[in-house]
Structure 1
Amino acid sequence: MRAHTLNLLQTATRCSRVRPQPNAHQLAKCASRWSSTSTSASTERKWSTPLAKTLAEAITTTGPISVAAYMRQCLTHPEGGYYTRQTSTGQDQFGTKGDFVTSPEISQVFGELVGIWLYAEWLAQGKKEKVQIIEVGPGRGTLMDDVLRTISSFKAFANSIEGIYLIEASPHLQKQQAKLLSGTEDLHTSEIGLTAPCKYIPGCKIEWCEDIRLLPKEETSTPFILAHEFFDALPIHIFQNIAQSSIPASSTIITPTGPIKPKHGVTTPKNTWHELVVSPTSPYASAGTTITTATGKADEKLDFEMTISKTPTPHSLYLPKMSSRYKKLENTPDAIIEISPESFAYVSDFAIRIGGSNSVPSSPQPASSPNAPTSNQASFPKPEPSGAALILDYGPLDTIPANTLRGIRSHRAVSPFDSPGKVDLSADVDFVALAESALGASPGVEVHGPVEQSFFLSTMGIKERAGRLLKGAKDEETRRRLEVGWRRLIDIGPDGMGKTYKAMAIVPYKKKGPVRRPIGFGGDIVG
């Protein structure tokens, strides 16, 4: 089965690390230097947010930046990032009063079924000891709260858990998670970050760390990893295939090993991938086409815009060559692809924790962020693969995402270049690319899915669980909320989440016997 899967999903080619994009401190330094020396008209320009001004001043010094660098600063800048800042009203970004609602916020049944999925995997793998529960990007902790409450009902499983780990970079969100999961905001320092007791499992601690690399891999541990609406927020690079692209002989191409100048005059390859980059809009440009902004003004000019890089960038030289899926589009003029190397790095880390890595990659995958794990690590031989990763997110089943970068604020779509730092940014997840990276990172795992969320939740028993809750509802308003919530999760219509959202699982590779499909992916509960 694994060989068949590998034939369907060509293992991604790993490439050398490239020079990272400027981080927040470098951008701030550039901005300070620019603002102290420039007297141009742009210093008088009114920017929509302080972060927009910081980014624009830095770009004026460093030149246009990748979409990935723009997304990273908008989402995680230490002073003005969407997830790292605290809103002026004290409200967080989640829920009906925030900018968007996630599945756990819609119905408690979602988190309960995820908890049951973990329990079923634990049973199927022989009731392992030394279990770790890990969640990346836990939001305000709603999903983990429902998961742990459910797990606490299965005493044997709960007793096998030696630690719960939340990978969260925002101090503000860490406090929200602690209040919900531990009943306190009083966190104590630990070896990897912060810690507090778990209110659901006596004697078990919850630990917070900013980076999954701070969480040591253990050969005898069984990690169960959750990633719900995590990968859609990871930065992407966008490339467009330009026909008859020309590179002047005098052009200098910046590569990871230094600048290179073409020696043989003008080159005119049939098609070349060019990266889409971000730069400030001209202060003299008109408002242009009608746009939707966070303030609702249709004629408002945005702070930034995307343009096509005229010459190759370090990322355009290797990222579109990483997979045969991208290569098939090399002869399609104007084709657009979105690639997230950080996503590849994270899912590779998941796979290695579950299945081990018996050899050091000769050509490690790059990570374009200092906060992303990489597969360039020492060999991690795991005697017996164990654990699982459950990924729940939105994106196509088998195609490469294109033109999916979006912004959202107050539950409506806005331009991703509107009010930087105050608008959530996301893009569709390339599930096939995640599967390629997981299979390529570890010989001890197999991948199931993606399947539509409607199929996953229905086979997990969402209708039956909702029915029990409806019978116990105390009033009509509670019954209405439960009914609307669970149906929305599996609705395959344009306003539902059942078809747009997908589920994918990474589980240990079974060398002998028939393939065991996990529950929710066509399998039954075993063990």
Structure 2
Amino acid sequence: MIPRAARRVLGLSRPRTFDVKIFQSTRWSSSSPRQWSTPLAKQIAEAIATTGPISIAAYMRQCLTSPDGGYYTANREGRDQFGRKGDFVTSPEISQIFGELFGLWLLTEWMMQGRKKQGVEIIEVGPGRGTLMDDILRTVSNFKSLASSIENVYLVEASPSLRAAQKDLLCGDSALEEVSTGHRSTSKYAGMPITWCEDIRFVPNEPDKTPFIFAHEFFDALPIHAFQSVPPSQTPTQTLSTPTGQISLNRPKAEAQKPQWRELLVSPKLPSSIITSSASCTKSKDPRPDFQLSLAKASNPSSLLLPNQSQRYKDLLSTADAVIEISPESHSYVAEFARRIGGSKHSGSTASSGVSPAPRKAEPSGAALILDYGPAETIPSSTLRGIRSHQLVSPLADAGEVDLSADVDFMALVEAALGASNNVEVHGPVEQGVFLEQMGIKERAEMLIRGLEKSSGQGTEVAGGSDQHPANSAADLETKKKAIGAAVERLVSRLPGRGMGTLYKALAIVPERGGKRPVGFGGGLGV
């Protein structure tokens, strides 16, 4: 048993399972307070000291969106998570073509659904710096009939600093006003109104609207729960350690003889800085995570509920030590997408969030396009990662300073979408390289190169985005042409370690139409 004073120093609220031998030669010092890597890490540890170990989902939520130091929500002057100087680069930052193809996908779906003249909405969740939406709006503004049908553009963004960056890019000097659902301004493209909401639940859900929804590298940042299958217990009596002593739980013998899911939880890691061992008094120079994962000693509500929601999870229960990751928020978001496109399964029901209504639509309309990384069919297992300065780092260190993500369970998204509405189809996932090639990424790259060649020597800039610049010399022209080619190769390459073509997947949710595939998923325009 760890002494009470020692538990307070460690930030523990209850005894934990340690090898007793570790502490036989350990001396504790109250004069050496625990040093945490970040203020947020200290806050999380203090919360754990009160509530006990927390789920990975709770840890991720605090690290990414806490107002007191979250990775995306903290106001850090001069910080930019994106790009070469940041922590990671996303596909829209690599080439303007990526976002242009999203715009063309919207155009083709709009055409296939009868070229509606009004009520069209564009929604993006997790819009980053706004680069993707900027390319989408620039592209669709070239098609006047489509542009005039767009009534609203909604950006679902929880970060005030990112919202400011998006506003500057998309709206320029247009005023930003506060409205009941968030903030609003006017796009520099065709005067389209843009509204920012902190959650998709606050985006109005009207059955006569046609929403086109985009989610690029959004689901990988949503919190996950992790569960491990444990073998049957040898005894029907289970003993739990609590701050007030041992509690015996008597379970039916039949239940005790079955494998169970147990949740992997986050708790503070043993701090070498406050332990002096007789075996070694030298503090390790290697940085150590503030937290560690440990297996819950008993079932909890999450482990009893979440793994029983899909047969895919149930099938792995009998596999000893199998680990699965489940993201309830991902399921909720994609179900909301499906309901906005196809209407709710049941008249008068509401979205699982309990805020925005999910009415039955007279005519399903709209579409959702999701691009993210993860396996096409299998359930993600032990994929939680930290990313900083383009390097993989521990996700349990430097809370709030490190981006956290996990692989997306695409088949779980498929199940959630189909379970939310009877009037939608789901296509994919297909590899990003396949999707972009079918959308014409190489042909668009050739057009950009021809534009550069045409402008070479004229001292004029080709209209467009970031890939297009005036070519002042043959060498400069070749450099720009190679840059376009390299960007395309990076987006579509299937070679390990060289590109995103295989790791990233595309998924589409469209109105039910007898299995007719959308463009990019094996289908043609067909109008």
TM-score (norm 1): 0.83
SS of 1:278's partner is strand
Find out whether 1:194 has 2:183 as its counterpart: yes
Letter in 1 for 2:36: W
Which residue does the alignment assign to 1:456?
A: 435
One-letter amino acid matched to 2:518: P
Among residues 310, 327, 347, which one is paired with 2:314 in the alignment?
Answer: 327
Shift of residue 360 of structure 1? 6.1
Matched to 1:417, the amino acid is L
- Which sections of structure 2, spanning at least 5 residues, go unmatched? 1-7, 13-27, 276-283, 453-470
Aligned residues: 465
CA spacing shift, 1:264–1:492, aligned 2, 3 Å = closer
Corresponding letter in the other structure for 2:495: G
Residue pairs, 1:64-143, within 5 angstroms: 64-88=53-77, 90-128=78-116, 129-143=118-132
* Percent of matched pairs sharing the same residue: 56
- State the one-letter code of the partner of 1:72: R
Aligned to 1:149: 138
Q: What is aligned with 1:28?
A: none
1:506 aligns with 2:506: no
Q: Which of 167, 174, 190 is matched with 1:178 structurally?
A: 167
Answer yes or no: is the 8 Å Cα contact 1:165–1:207 preserved in 2: yes
Give the whole-Å Cα distance in 1 for the aligned partners of 2:32 and 2:328.
35
Match of 1:488 among 490, 504, 512: 490
Q: CA deviation at 1:472?
A: 2.3
TM superposition outliers: structure 1 runs of 4+ over 6 Å: none
Give SS of 2:387's match.
strand
Change (3 A) 1:412 1:379: closer
Amino acid at match of 1:505: A
Q: Which amino acid aligns with 1:45?
A: R
Measured after TM superposition, the shift of residue 282 of structure 1 is 1.2
1:257-280 Cα shifts (integer Å, max 9, x gaps):
xx9954658962331100000000
* Preserved CA contact (<8 Å) 1:123 1:526: no
* Aligned position for 1:169: 158
| 1:479 counterpart letter in structure 2 | K
**Aligned partners of 2:239 and 2:248 also within 8 Å:** no
Structure 1: stretches of 5+ with no match in the other structure: 1-30, 254-258, 288-296, 366-372
Amino acid at match of 1:456: F
Task: Within 5 Å, give how 1:364-443 maps onto structure 2.
Answer: 374=353, 380-443=359-422
- Assess if the C-alpha contact under 8 Å between 1:252 and 1:261 holds in 2: no
Tell me if the contact between 2:201 and 2:355 (Cα under 8 Å) persists in the aligned partners. no
Going from structure 1 to structure 2, the CA distance change for 1:199 and 1:238 (only over 3 Å counts) comes to same
Opposite residue 500 of structure 1, the aligned amino acid is: L
CA shift, 1:86, in A, is 3.1
Residues in 1 aligned to 2:482 and 2:198: alpha-carbon distance in whole angstroms: 39
Q: 1:271 to 1:249 in 2, by over 3 A?
A: closer
Q: CA RMSD in A?
A: 2.7
Shift of 1:247: 6.8
Counterpart of 1:292?
none
Deviation at 1:378, TM superposition (A): 5.4
Aligned to 1:6: none
Distance 2:99 2:67 in 1: 30
Q: Is the 8 A contact 1:86 1:92 kept in 2?
A: no
Contact kept, 8 Å, 1:42 with 1:283, in 2: the verdict is: no
2:151 aligned partner, one-letter code: E
Q: Is the 8 A contact 2:238 2:248 kept in 1?
A: no
Q: Which amino acid aligns with 1:493?
A: L
Distance 1:139 1:133 in 2: 16
The answer to whether the 8 A contact 1:119-1:157 is kept is yes
Residue 315 in 1 paired to residue 302 in 2? yes
Q: CA deviation at 1:483?
A: 1.4
Q: Given the alignment, which residue of 201, 214, 237 partners 1:213? A: 201
Name the CA distance, whole Å, in 1 between partners of 2:526 and 2:268: 56
Paired amino acid for 1:478: K
Highest relative contact order (Cα 8 Å, sep 6+), 1 or 2? 1
DSSP 3-state at the match of 1:502: strand
Q: What letter is aligned with 2:388?
A: R
Q: In structure 2, what is the Cα distance between the partners aligned to 1:42 and 1:449?
A: 58
Indicate the residue corresponding to 2:518 in structure 1. 518
Which protein has the larger Cα radius of gyration, Structure 1 or Structure 2? 2
Select the residue among 475, 481, 498 that pairs with 1:479.
481
* 1:25-44 equivalence runs, <5 A: 41=30, 44=33
The 1-side partners of 2:370 and 2:294 are apart by 32
What's the TM-score, normalizing by structure 2? Answer: 0.83
Deviation at 1:68, TM superposition (A): 0.3
**Partners of 2:113 and 2:68 in 1: how far apart?**
44
1:37-57, CA deviations, whole angstroms, 9 ceiling, x for partnerless residues? xx9949811111110011111
Change (3 A) 1:222 1:40: farther
User: Residue 5 of structure 1 aligns with which residue?
Assistant: none
The Cα of 1:251 is off from its aligned counterpart by 4.5
Question: Structure 1 177/249 Cα, relative in aligned 2: closer, same or farther at 3 Å?
Answer: same
Pair 263,101 (structure 1): closer, same or farther in 2 beyond 3 Å = closer
User: Partner amino acid for 2:111?
Assistant: L
